[in-house]
Amino acid sequence: MNVEVEPELASWDKAGSPGQHRLARWLQEVDVVAERVAPTSGPVALALGVALPAATPLDSGGRDLDNYLLPVVQRLGARTVTAAFATKRHQPTSTLAIEPASATDEPVGSRHVALLRGSSESSAWKYQLRNSLVAAGVEEVPAAPIWLTVAIATGPGRVWTNLWKPLIDSLGPILGERAANPFNASDDRIVDLGLHHQLDTGLEHDVRVRLWWGPMPPA
């Protein structure tokens, strides 16, 4: 459904800052949508469509889709939301849908699988993913908007939203890297993002990541 308030990025500003006020207003709108359409039980999937003005580039200038999704998923509950989708488009109105989660087919595109061990807050965790992409001969997608789908499997002790930023920051071999920083991937190139969570008790504290990606097809 269309939303009355424009989506806001996650904010780490101090309490009372303009960014925090805008985010609070947006999350109140999320509450309104959830009250109207969200399922009353069971896992859910959400889809956020971020509307941007025609003059605003979709694949540069920040506005990372995972940072749009993060506060919404946290508001609804990271253990309730098992799939989160977001797009950036030149369109007049932003949208938000919340529905029961359901199985989907795997995307058609490049694919990579990695098993990551240790703390996601460490450089070693991120290097595991980045190095696995390099070892697999993955090449950066040429300059163009990108779609990305990520399937994350964890044990019950992990909060999957905590993995989003270090994971996507490690995708420089796919997205390109800024200023030779191996964990500063150009993730604002992603204009279509899908994030999926699967609970796997056999993983304990490990994380299994599956990735699919490619350039956005012509409109």
Task: Name the pLDDT band for 93 (thresholds 50, 70, 90).
Answer: very high
Number of neighbours of residue 8 by Cβ within 10 angstroms: 22
Sign, CA torsion 167/168/171/172: negative
Q: Of the candidates 93, 77, 95, which has an alpha carbon nearest to the alpha carbon of residue 85?
A: 95
Contact 69, 195 (CB under 8 A): yes
Contact 177, 184 (CB under 8 A): yes
Does the pLDDT of residue 180 top 80, yes or no?
no
**Beta-ladder partners of 111:** 212
Q: Which CATH superfamily groups domain 110-215?
A: Tubulin/FtsZ, C-terminal domain (3.30.1330.20)
Structure tokens given for 20:
């925090």
Q: Of the candidates 86, 60, 181, 198, which has an alpha carbon nearest to the alpha carbon of residue 130?
A: 181
Task: Please write the tens of the pLDDT for every residue from 51-62.
Answer: 999 999 999 898
- Parse the chain into domains and list their residue ranges: 18-100, 110-215
pTM: 0.94
